[in-house]
Amino acid sequence: MNDLLFELSLPETFNFAVCLDYMERSALECLYIVDHEGVNRLFELGGVPVLIRLTVPEGNFMQVSLLQGAVPSQEDQAKLARYIREWFDLDRDLEPFYSLSSRDPLLRPLAERFYGLRIVGIPDLFEALCWAILGQQVNLTFAYRLKQRLTAEYGESMEWIGHTYYRFPRPEAFLSVTMEELCALQLTRNKALTILTVAGLMVRGELSREELLQLPSPEEAEARLVKIRGIGPWTAQYVRMRCLRDASSFPVGDVGLQNAVKVLTGMDRKPNLAELQQLGEGWQGWEAYATFYLWRALY
């Protein structure tokens, strides 16, 4: 089966191939499978699993096709369209960012090299928080392994043409999970406790993406998140950037950002906080995109 469900219009400043290159940065990614033409991902629509494929065969349209599962209702297709638009940040005008980059000696070559790259987001708050928590103080490879284990153990899956596709676990999946069970997957006790805490808050309706987006500012959303034990400024800023679509989020404590600036500027050490903040003064309103493009330069 490969039935076209609908098409999405794309902005001119979008390059699917460049986004796919980014999404292929780790062979350990377990939530989608990328090839040179598109990406396949398992969703739940109308309470049932459906395997979806995204391609951009020509022009400024993305084709969204059904590979496996029942045809979603029009309402569920509309939800899927919203998810995809947020996943690839399709509703943002990047012209101001590229204008800014053209005047910035650090960003200009990156903007030219990766033109059309969007921040590939994580629209689901629980997934975004868990990914950030898993990535605390470990290298990217180990973070991916932790995500693989967590997803295989508590998520849902579908087999299709020799591949297993996974959906990230829902918060409800952790209601009866113990900290010891998560530690058996090699999570630290602190990470296990934080994930269980976040899952409980979300199941009880005490934390949601909608609530965070309705707060008066992204800074207040960050303040709300850091009240949760185990979530610090870096984790909250990462979630602002990847889930809450805040282009001004600036995770200055990020080691990858520091390494990218060190490498690209030829420094003999990582930049300190003050030096990063000074750099960021020229990126006002676009700090998250500057960070994302700097990360991209590392691999």
**Integer Cα distance of 196 and 199 in angstroms:** 5
Asked whether 144 and 24 are in contact (CB, 8 A), the reply is no
**Integer Cα distance of 216 and 60 in angstroms:** 34
Asked whether 60 and 8 are in contact (CB, 8 A), the reply is no
Q: Is 4 helix (H, G, I), strand (E, B) or coil?
A: strand
**Integer Cα distance of 94 and 212 in angstroms:** 24
Would you call 124 a catalytic residue per the annotation?
Answer: no
From 21, 104, 254, 268, the catalytic residue? 254
Cα 224 off chain centre by: 20
User: What HEC string does 98-159 produce?
Assistant: HHHHHCCCCCHHHHHHCCCCCCCCCCCHHHHHHHHHHCCCCCHHHHHHHHHHHHHHHCEEEE
The catalytic site residues sit at 254
